[in-house]
Structure 1
Amino acid sequence: MRAVFGLVLAVGLGLAGFAVIMVKDFLAQQAMLAEASVKEPETVPTKMVYVMNKPLKYGEQLNREDVRQIEWPAAALPEGFFSEENALFPENDPRPRFVLRAMERNEAVMDIKVTNPGEDAGLTSRLEKGMRAFAIKVDVASGVSGFLRPGDKVDVYWTGRVDGMDRNSSGEVTKLIETGISLIAVDQMANGDHSEAMIARTVTVAVNPQQVGALAQAQSTGRLSLSLVGNFDDTVAEAIEVDQRSLLGLAEAPQIQEVREKPKEEICTIRTRRGSEVVETRIACK
């Protein structure tokens, strides 16, 4: 009996020792894996990108001391970034660059935010090839209550009378004449970074020469009103023309036909007195 008890005890102690060894090996392996993960972090591909050293506002000159290079994740590179100094500050062109949009510290420098070397930060730098700048007079009502900013897009409506309209028509007509026109300046401000409402007297739009002629004619013959288009709205507005009758849902007035009187037949006579009697005789008219 004692021999059996001793044998069971020995087997139990052996199993317990084996279990302790297995747990110890498992913990050692986990510790090694954790240490390896700390020593060998996952590497992310990067590329050197020029960013701002300090904030700059619209129109300020961009100098070499205003930028620096940092590592930027290659999978999240912004469009139009600069990675080489010669691309941002060409050696063969020492003319300065100017800021087109306000930039903050650590913001990537992109080609859409700075001018080309020697190019002014005025309106000419915002006009694409074939486009022209045209000013439109606005007020609080026609200028969307002062919420227009450079960079916004607007639809242009014309209101006025059309020469030769039927006298039975409702008078003035409102018509959509241009859609999705880009604003490049509000009054004398071409910087679109202001957020407060500003009551403008004129806005400047970028249009082609044909549109310049249409807007000039419309502005001289009626009133122009602007309608602000959403930033992410890519729909194309359909042709719109509204007069008073269509606005109120009234039927067209019946056309009044003019009745022309037939010319009266001309009758020629001659009077002859016979004593106290006057006789009227019909004769041919000459």
Structure 2
Amino acid sequence: MRLVFGLVLIVGVGLAGFSVYMAKNYIQGYQSQLAQERAQRAPAIETVEIFVAKRPIEYGQRVMKDDVRLTKFPKESLPEGVFLKEEDLFPEGDDEPRSALRAMLPNEAILASKVTGAGEEAGITSRLDRGERAFAINVDVSSGVSGFLRPGDRVDVYWTGNIGRSGARTERNSVGEVTKLIETGVRLIAINQSANVDMTEAVIARTVTVAAQPHQVAALAQAQSTGRLSLSLVGTKDDTVAEAIEVDQRQLLGIAAMEPEPEPEQRKEVCTIRTRRGAEVIVSEIPCTN
């Protein structure tokens, strides 16, 4: 009896294992056919090989051949400025490598905007466009937006000074101390002695360096030597153009301008001569002579 029970148990376990095996093969076959059908339905995506970072690359670091690798990327989604060939990324090999203008993570595409030219350092000269000059502006906590400025930000520049001493007036006929918008959308390229665009901590700036045209540099130098400069941070997506802005103390306090006093009428000069005839004095008008 025990022998029969053991045989039945063995046969049952065998049949169960065989059923599981057959079910597994059936499911795997179904999944394989389903994957093949989906692959046939999906359109073929054309890819190209581009250079990406192999390991983390810090700001200012020299980008060597060992720091990058090729990877496939959808052709239709290629970002602007990618490097497709080694001779484009390393025109001089490792003898004159490029430098990173911003930190890059592994598998991040190497773009022309993220690296310098071959053999160049990651200084502010690499951030100046053709015809631009670098100019330093002295700031403090209040005039420098309380330490929230970063390289790459855009700012409006305001001048505050006293023009009443010389009797000068502006186009709005302001007198005394006046604040005026003198430059708009000026691009910052360095804070203190750092040009790192990946700064994360707030830094109290003592000087900021801006990129400007030569005539803007002259205007900023004149403004800095004759008054106080304040910076106003422009939003990242703000593309509006600020209008001419000028405020003096009279406009700030809402004081109406005083009407100028009328100039007194100039009387015509009259020259006379007195002649005595006995007890009588006669006054006669004569032409005036110098």
Q: Same fold (TM over 0.5)?
A: yes
Instruction: Summarize the Cα distance change of 1:193–1:92 in structure 2 as closer, same or farther, 3 Å threshold.
Output: closer
Looking at structure 2, the residues matched to 56 and 154 of structure 1 have their Cα atoms a distance apart, in angstroms, of 29
Match of 1:60 in 2: 61
Provide the identity percentage. Answer: 56
One-letter identity of the residue aligned with 1:210: H
Q: Deviations over 1:71-127 (max 9, x none)?
A: 112222111011111111125794121111111111110001011101121111111
Looking at structure 2, the residues matched to 37 and 75 of structure 1 have their Cα atoms a distance apart, in angstroms, of 28
Looking at structure 2, the residues matched to 34 and 102 of structure 1 have their Cα atoms a distance apart, in angstroms, of 43
Match of 2:109 in 1: 108
Q: Deviations over 1:166-221 (max 9, x none)?
A: 7x965211111000000000110000211221111110000000001100111111
Match of 1:211 in 2: 216
Match of 1:274 in 2: none
Looking at structure 1, the residues matched to 283 and 243 of structure 2 have their Cα atoms a distance apart, in angstroms, of 71
Preserved CA contact (<8 Å) 1:50 1:69: yes
Match of 2:14 in 1: none
Looking at structure 2, the residues matched to 111 and 36 of structure 1 have their Cα atoms a distance apart, in angstroms, of 44
Looking at structure 2, the residues matched to 91 and 143 of structure 1 have their Cα atoms a distance apart, in angstroms, of 41
Preserved CA contact (<8 Å) 2:64 2:94: no
Unaligned runs of 5+ in 2: 1-27
The TM-score normalised by the length of structure 1 is: 0.77
Match of 1:12 in 2: none
Q: Deviations over 1:55-84 (max 9, x none)?
A: 111111000000011111222211101111
Match of 1:23 in 2: none
Looking at structure 1, the residues matched to 57 and 93 of structure 2 have their Cα atoms a distance apart, in angstroms, of 25
**Structure label with greater radius of gyration:** 1
One-letter identity of the residue aligned with 2:159: W
Match of 2:35 in 1: 38
How much is the aligned-residue C-alpha RMSD, in angstroms? 3.0
Instruction: State the Cα distance separating 1:151 from its structure 2 match.
Output: 0.3
Looking at structure 1, the residues matched to 229 and 80 of structure 2 have their Cα atoms a distance apart, in angstroms, of 37
Looking at structure 1, the residues matched to 86 and 59 of structure 2 have their Cα atoms a distance apart, in angstroms, of 22
Instruction: State the Cα distance separating 1:44 from its structure 2 match.
Output: 2.2
Q: Deviations over 1:8-49 (max 9, x none)?
A: xxxxxxxxxxxxxxxxxxxxxxx9996444126233221111
Q: How many residues align?
A: 252
Bigger drift between 258-267 and 44-53 goes to 258-267
Instruction: Summarize the Cα distance change of 1:237–1:68 in structure 2 as closer, same or farther, 3 Å threshold.
Output: same
One-letter identity of the residue aligned with 1:235: T
Looking at structure 1, the residues matched to 29 and 58 of structure 2 have their Cα atoms a distance apart, in angstroms, of 53
Looking at structure 2, the residues matched to 141 and 241 of structure 1 have their Cα atoms a distance apart, in angstroms, of 20
Equivalent residue in structure 1 for 2:244, among 235, 239, 248: 239
| 3-state SS in 2 of match to 1:59 | coil
One-letter identity of the residue aligned with 2:187: S
Unaligned runs of 5+ in 1: 1-30, 270-278
Match of 2:75 in 1: 74
Q: Residues 146-161 of structure 1 correspond to what in structure 2 (within 5 A)?
A: 146-161=147-162
Equivalent residue in structure 2 for 1:199, among 201, 204, 207: 204
Q: Residues 79-98 of structure 1 correspond to what in structure 2 (within 5 A)?
A: 79-91=80-92, 94-98=95-99
Match of 1:164 in 2: 167
Preserved CA contact (<8 Å) 2:92 2:118: no
The reply on whether 1:175 has 2:180 as its aligned counterpart is yes
Preserved CA contact (<8 Å) 1:94 1:117: no
Instruction: State the Cα distance separating 1:139 from its structure 2 match.
Output: 0.5
One-letter identity of the residue aligned with 2:162: R
| 3-state SS in 2 of match to 1:231 | coil
Match of 1:190 in 2: 195
